[in-house]
Structure 1
Amino acid sequence: MPTSLNPDAFFQTPGIILDVRSPAEYVQGHIPGAVNFPVFNNEERALVGTCYKQKGKDKAIELGLAIAGPKLANFVADAKILATDREVKIHCWRGGMRSASVGWLLETGGFNVTLLIGGYKGFRRWASSLFSVPQKIIILGGMTGSGKTEILRALKNMGEQVLDLEAIANHRGSSFGALGLLPQPTNEQFGNILGMEWAKFNRSQPLWVEAESKRIGLCRIPQEIFEQMEKAKIIEISRTRQERVKLLVEIYGEADINDLIAATKRIHKRLGGVRAKATINFLREGNLAAASDLILHYYDKTYSYDLEKRSGTIYQVNVSGLSAIDAAILVQQKSQQL
């Protein structure tokens, strides 16, 4: 019989993770690194589900077996390609019939099989429970264009624990935040990735996190993590406005002008009619520096407002003229003094 393990032990076990749910379930959210290995396609899963509701469990099982039966040989062959070491870890939605059936089949086919207790649903509960575990957090704050992301990367290279929420969300957290990046994950998948990352952190060591609002584009930071962020100490970096404008030009200089104009129109009311019109005119002229300078007026006010709502102590560090590496060294030194 396949071994059944809870998430902590499951992830420590060798082998590829096979998610035997339907492709639609997988796309909505999955364990990071898992490979979709569906027992039913989307249409087949819908048929079995309808049968279960209308005719009961026994008839649904019969229909499921009729659909899956012809695929059994292919399951084994496909698994051999994916897991040349014959080590596989399998889960479905609740750790029920789909994973148990595929587990039995692959074990019969010579694989060493591990099942996830509770399935994907159990994984979600496990991940959510981790977010409530206290973590020493240091918030890296600073107005738009201060280079916080680059400093976080430098801190990570220096051996510090870093949670890059914007990288996970594929978004920079502003109206312009999606430009030049891959599509965002679903909010469910955002939480899944966070769960796997959160499980790795040493609770006794500080974790650096960039100051963020509750939402990063379409992704929402779990409430348990956000509450810890709000109470954390804040190291706020500052740079000259000229440096900040230059960095924004570097980030968005290759973006399509029409996309930049569309992003500006989304904050038209908050930017103010006159300022928004002037920004769009600068963009059409190709003067990204002047446009960025005007846009900073809005984002500086937004940042200051969000910062005032946090209860953590704020420590100022001026990094004007410094590279990301030198700035990281400075903020690291500051954190050691706290």
Structure 2
Amino acid sequence: MQVIEIDQFLSNKNDFPVLDTRSPGEHAAGHIPGAVNLPLFDNDQRAIIGTIYKEEGREKAIKVGLKLIGPKLVDLIEIAESLGSKKLLIHCWRGGMRSSSLAWLLELYGFEILVLKGGYKAYRNYLLSFFDQPLKLKIVAGTTGSMKTSLLKEMETKGAQIVDLEGLAHHQGSAFGSHKEESQPSSEQFQNDILEKFLYFSLEKPIWLEDESFIIGKAHIIAPLYQLMQESPRYHIVVSKEQRLKVLVNGYGSLPKDKLIKSTYDIAKKLGKENCELAVNHIENGEMSQAASIILSYYDKAYGKGLNKKAKTVVREIPMNLDNLSEVAASLIKIE
């Protein structure tokens, strides 16, 4: 068994399977992307062991833990075998007994084992420190419906380094943003997935992101990354309201009316009672463009206030429409 630092762990994790020995609950709350959960204890067993450790001491907790693990030893080996590699990376929460115990068992069986020093906690500390360094971020800004995500994806096909924060958060970022996606990851997992994207990039080249709020749906962006985004140069995409309405109706107009109405009521205070009821009536009558126009007026006003606060970071305004999206993408990726 070899204990390795986080840098070496990350440089190996795409070549060899990663085993997370924490409980299923811990793994679900946030894990290293791609890690396979191979827990020594289930959620209830972990709670029992923790209580015994606090109340009766380490030795008693170990004895009880061994009794719980004993019947599962063969299963643990067989699951590890199913991964198809004789070299495995292992971690627990702090690089303690759980990872060491599984490492001992698998090494005894014949595996080569690398254990992460400091465990998952070391990984999370690395994540925070990673975004404390200068990064060449470029921000695509624009009002709701400006096709910013489509632009980023087009840039990606042309070779740009892009991070689709809304895609990783499984949310489109507005009161209506949850209806087109699956359930959101935890903030912790969302942040881990963001780091995973950055680890594949060359930090010498620009990394493009969409201008976002600190919270997307219920998922929080990494605080130091968000601060870097606020200070980074912005490229303001300008699309006519008429075209933005078409984009929004095309993207959201086919959603169930009850969901659209609920989301409209969710922002009733911001829309104003009269505008809210008018928008809801349009939705009920299938007049999606009229409803979108009312709702868009609120979002445009809110966006304008936000952009004014960051006006010094806007380096260029770029007119765009569906016809020249590819051309705009090609021009942006040339920016160093």
TM-score calculated relative to the size of structure 1: 0.95
Aligned counterparts of 2:36 and 2:322: Cα–Cα separation in 1: 46
> What is residue 285 of structure 2 aligned with on the other side?
285
SS in structure 2 opposite 1:44? Answer: helix
Aligned counterparts of 2:328 and 2:293: Cα–Cα separation in 1: 23
In 1, are the aligned partners of 2:186 and 2:219 still within 8 Å (CA)?
yes
Aligned counterparts of 2:17 and 2:6: Cα–Cα separation in 1: 14
> What is residue 323 of structure 2 aligned with on the other side?
322
Aligned counterparts of 1:209 and 1:89: Cα–Cα separation in 2: 31
Q: 1:325 to 1:3 in 2, by over 3 A?
A: same
Aligned counterparts of 1:321 and 1:44: Cα–Cα separation in 2: 56
Aligned counterparts of 1:181 and 1:138: Cα–Cα separation in 2: 26
Q: Which sections of structure 1, spanning at least 5 residues, go unmatched?
A: none
Identity of aligned residues (%): 38
2:236 is the alignment partner of 1:221: no
In 2, are the aligned partners of 1:317 and 1:331 still within 8 Å (CA)?
no
Aligned counterparts of 2:261 and 2:183: Cα–Cα separation in 1: 19
SS in structure 2 opposite 1:90? Answer: strand
1:138 CA displacement: 1.1
> What is residue 210 of structure 1 aligned with on the other side?
210
> What is residue 8 of structure 1 aligned with on the other side?
7
1:284 CA displacement: 0.7
Aligned counterparts of 2:17 and 2:114: Cα–Cα separation in 1: 10
AA paired with 1:49? G
AA paired with 1:21? R
Pairs within 5 Å for 1:63-74: 63-74=64-75
Aligned counterparts of 2:328 and 2:251: Cα–Cα separation in 1: 19
AA paired with 2:50? G
Aligned counterparts of 1:323 and 1:293: Cα–Cα separation in 2: 24
Pairs within 5 Å for 1:244-259: 244-259=244-259
Pairs within 5 Å for 1:160-199: 160-199=160-199
2:76 is the alignment partner of 1:75: yes
2:15 is the alignment partner of 1:46: no
Instruction: String of CA shifts for 1:122-178, please: whole Å, max 9, x gaps.
Output: 110011110111111111011100100000001111111111111111111110011
In 1, are the aligned partners of 2:17 and 2:85 still within 8 Å (CA)?
no
1:202 CA displacement: 2.0
AA paired with 2:10? F
Aligned counterparts of 2:255 and 2:7: Cα–Cα separation in 1: 42
Instruction: String of CA shifts for 1:57-98, please: whole Å, max 9, x gaps.
Output: 1111111111111211111112111x2122211111101110
Aligned counterparts of 1:93 and 1:34: Cα–Cα separation in 2: 13
1:321 CA displacement: 4.5
1:326 CA displacement: 2.5
Pairs within 5 Å for 1:85-164: 85-164=85-164
Aligned counterparts of 2:112 and 2:257: Cα–Cα separation in 1: 54
Aligned counterparts of 2:194 and 2:266: Cα–Cα separation in 1: 28
1:199 CA displacement: 2.6
Number of aligned residue pairs: 333
Aligned counterparts of 2:314 and 2:239: Cα–Cα separation in 1: 20
TM-score calculated relative to the size of structure 2: 0.96
SS in structure 2 opposite 1:247? Answer: helix
Aligned counterparts of 1:309 and 1:5: Cα–Cα separation in 2: 45
SS in structure 1 opposite 2:282? Answer: helix
Aligned counterparts of 1:288 and 1:294: Cα–Cα separation in 2: 10
Say what the alpha-carbon RMSD is for the aligned residues: 1.3
4+ residue runs of structure 1 moved beyond 3 angstroms? 330-333
Aligned counterparts of 1:79 and 1:325: Cα–Cα separation in 2: 46
Aligned counterparts of 2:145 and 2:328: Cα–Cα separation in 1: 14
